[in-house]
């Protein structure tokens, strides 16, 4: 799934490049849209007492993105099993094949008490069982 992200002045640091922590926000948008495309409502899961929390993040910053760039964020589900889902993210500048940033984010399913619970079958079905 590709999500276009325009870089605004507010996204940059004093050097004019995207502030490193903003990529976490972009990755979150990618996961949200990935799930929305599959008609997954995190609100519905929350109402059932199920939350999905980030337990691990790895990011590699390869090349800087700058103000007014149009980036394309590719978000893929690479694994879903037990209590976790793993997403792979990759960002490129529009019209370029050069990867600027890549990372993985692991989410765990937990109850409202914060304890891990098995990944809901409903989620597995909606996202294709993890066969990315």
Question: The domain that contains 112 carries what CATH number?
Answer: 3.10.129.10
Domain span holding position 20: 2-126
3-state secondary structure 29-63: HHHHHHHHHCCCCHHHHHHCCEEEEEEEEEEEECC
pLDDT given for residue 1 in this prediction? 82
How many C-beta atoms surround the C-beta of residue 81 within 10 A? Answer: 12
CA 86/CA 80 separation, integer angstroms: 6
The residue length of the chain stands at 132
53: in domain: yes
131: in domain: no
42: in domain: yes
25: in domain: yes
Query: What is residue 26's three-state secondary structure?
Result: helix
Q: Residues 11, 13, 79, 113: which is the catalytic one?
A: 13
pLDDT given for residue 128 in this prediction? 84
9: in domain: yes
pLDDT given for residue 100 in this prediction? 98
pLDDT given for residue 132 in this prediction? 42
94: in domain: yes
Task: Note the pTM of the prediction, 2 decimals.
Answer: 0.92
**What is the residue-level pLDDT of the chain in tens, covering all 132 positions?**
899 999 999 999 999 999 999 999 999 999 999 999 999 999 999 999 999 999 999 999 999 999 999 999 999 999 999 999 999 999 999 999 999 999 999 999 999 999 999 999 999 999 986 444
Classify residue 107 as left (phi > 0), alpha (psi -120 to 50) or beta. beta
How many C-beta atoms surround the C-beta of residue 132 within 10 A? Answer: 13
Domain count, the chain: 1
CA 67/CA 56 separation, integer angstroms: 28
Q: Catalytic annotation on 13?
A: yes
CA 105/CA 34 separation, integer angstroms: 13
pLDDT given for residue 131 in this prediction? 47
55: in domain: yes
């Amino acid at each position: 799934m590709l999500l276009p992200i325009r870089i605004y002045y507010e996204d940059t640091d004093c050097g004019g490049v995207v502030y490193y922590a903003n990529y976490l926000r972009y990755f979150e948008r990618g996961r949200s849209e990935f799930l929305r495309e599959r008609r997954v409502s995190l609100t519905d899961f929350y109402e059932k007492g199920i939350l999905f929390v980030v337990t691990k993040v790895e990011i590699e910053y390869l090349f800087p993105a700058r103000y007014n760039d149009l980036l394309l964020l590719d978000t893929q589900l690479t694994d879903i099993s037990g209590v976790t889902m793993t997403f792979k993210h990759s960002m490129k500048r529009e019209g370029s094949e050069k990867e600027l940033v890549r990372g993985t984010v692991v989410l765990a399913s937990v109850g409202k008490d914060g304890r891990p619970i098995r990944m809901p079958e409903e989620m597995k079905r909606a996202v294709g069982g993890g066969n990315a």
